[in-house]
Amino acid sequence: MTRNYNLIPYIPKEEEKVQTECRKILPQHPAEISATCTRVNVMEGARNEARELGLPSAPVEWIKVHDDPFRPQPRLHRDNGQGMTTTVGRVREDNALPNGVKYLLVSHNTRMGAAAGAVLVAEYLVVKGYIG
């Protein structure tokens, strides 16, 4: 099996999705959203109601923010919270947009973004009584 360790600098429609989804989640927030999304092969790479409910797949922290400007790094942070924690760093003002904010994040897309995320949703639905 050939592995591609290349950084993919463009993911079709991903940047637009980040901008529109953020607006849906935070409709009253004054900041505009400007995003650059890349995909990096790393070889495995709010209130925590799910943790409060004792769901086995729930991370202790959903989001971990670093002050260190050299963080996050995919190989160092992809497995935070067993791959279920999103790690954020380099939070700073974006002078290109009024009230703009820039940041970098690492999220393990084959865990939180895929199978383990689906398991967590299923665990939640069972505990809440939506499925049996």
Give 65-113 pLDDT, tens digit per residue. 999 989 998 888 888 988 888 899 988 888 887 878 888 888 887 777 6
pLDDT tier at 8, thresholds 50, 70, 90: confident
Q: Is the dihedral of CA 122, 79, 63, 6 positive or negative?
A: negative
Q: Has residue 2 been placed in a domain?
A: no
pLDDT for 120 beyond 70? yes
Residue 29 reports pLDDT greater than 80: no
- Looking at residue 13, its pLDDT comes to 86
Check if the beta carbon of residue 82 is closer than 8 Å to that of residue 111. yes
* Residue 70, domain member (yes or no): yes
In-domain check, residue 105: yes
Q: Is residue 79 part of a domain?
A: yes
Give domain status of residue 35, yes or no: yes
Report if residue 96 sits inside a domain.
Answer: yes
Q: Given this model, what pLDDT does residue 2 score?
A: 53
pLDDT at residue 4 in the model: 58
**pTM of the entire predicted model:** 0.63
Domain contains 132 = no
Number of domain units in the chain = 1
State residue 117's pLDDT score.
Answer: 79
pLDDT given at position 94: 84
CA distances from 116 to 67, 71, 85, 112 (A): 28, 24, 11, 5
Task: Check residue 66 and give its pLDDT.
Answer: 92
Quick check: is 71 in a domain? Answer: yes
The span from the CA of 44 to the CA of 64, in Å, is 19
Domain span at residue 65 reads 7-127
